[in-house]
């Protein structure tokens, strides 16, 4: 992203924090902030956390940065795609083996049969790809 752009991006930070039953004050303290102001700015999308803060948030929430900052991730991916179309497909393939996008879905108490079927198919695909990579299949 160009530094001259002042754009806000949607994210999942507040939803994830609330799902983890953490207050903004608790998260601010864990990150070393004296006030909740930066947390509010991150959650509202008015400020994007730097890499160190994003990594700490990922550790606190036990969620990948890509999920927490979903719209920012998508904007970065789109920018890269416009510059180099082959980057997106390579990155998506290698990243998909490291994180299951259905992980958060599984935490929900009620899942539809359709969602369960998609999760089973996705899991089977990850297992197959991992086996192929390791030379077991």
Q: Are 127 and 96 in contact (CB under 8 A)?
A: no
Q: How far apart are CA 68 and CA 60, in angstroms?
A: 12
Percent of the chain with pLDDT over 70: 75
Per-residue pLDDT of 4-23, as tens digits, reads: 455 677 788 999 999 999 99
Q: How far apart are CA 43 and CA 58, in angstroms?
A: 14
Q: Are 68 and 58 in contact (CB under 8 A)?
A: yes
- Of 51 and 107, the structure prediction assigns the larger pLDDT to 51
User: At 94, is the pLDDT very low, low, confident or very high (cuts 50, 70, 90)?
Assistant: very low
Q: How far apart are CA 68 and CA 74, in angstroms?
A: 11
Q: How far apart are CA 40 and CA 79, in angstroms?
A: 26
Q: How far apart are CA 104 and CA 16, in angstroms?
A: 10
User: At 3, is the pLDDT very low, low, confident or very high (cuts 50, 70, 90)?
Assistant: very low
Two tokens at 57? 């948030």
pLDDT > 70? residue 44 = yes
Q: How far apart are CA 67 and CA 107, in angstroms?
A: 14
pTM above 0.95, yes or no: no
Q: How far apart are CA 65 and CA 7, in angstroms?
A: 19
pLDDT > 70? residue 109 = no
Q: Which residues contact 2 (CB under 8 A, 6 or more apart)?
A: none
Q: How far apart are CA 60 and CA 56, in angstroms?
A: 6
């Amino acid at each position: 992203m160009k530094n001259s752009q002042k754009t806000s991006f949607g994210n999942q930070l507040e939803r994830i924090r609330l799902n983890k039953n953490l207050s903004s004050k608790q998260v601010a303290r864990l990150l070393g902030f004296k006030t909740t102001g930066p947390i509010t700015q991150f959650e509202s999308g008015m400020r994007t956390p730097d890499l160190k803060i994003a990594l700490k948030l990922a550790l606190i929430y036990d969620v990948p940065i890509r999920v927490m900052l979903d719209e920012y991730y998508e904007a970065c991916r789109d920018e890269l795609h416009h510059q180099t179309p082959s980057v997106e497909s390579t990155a998506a393939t290698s990243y998909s083996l490291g994180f299951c996008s259905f992980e958060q879905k599984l935490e929900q108490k009620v899942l539809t049969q359709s969602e369960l079927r998609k999760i089973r198919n996705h899991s089977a695909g990850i297992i197959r790809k991992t086996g192929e990579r390791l030379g077991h299949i």
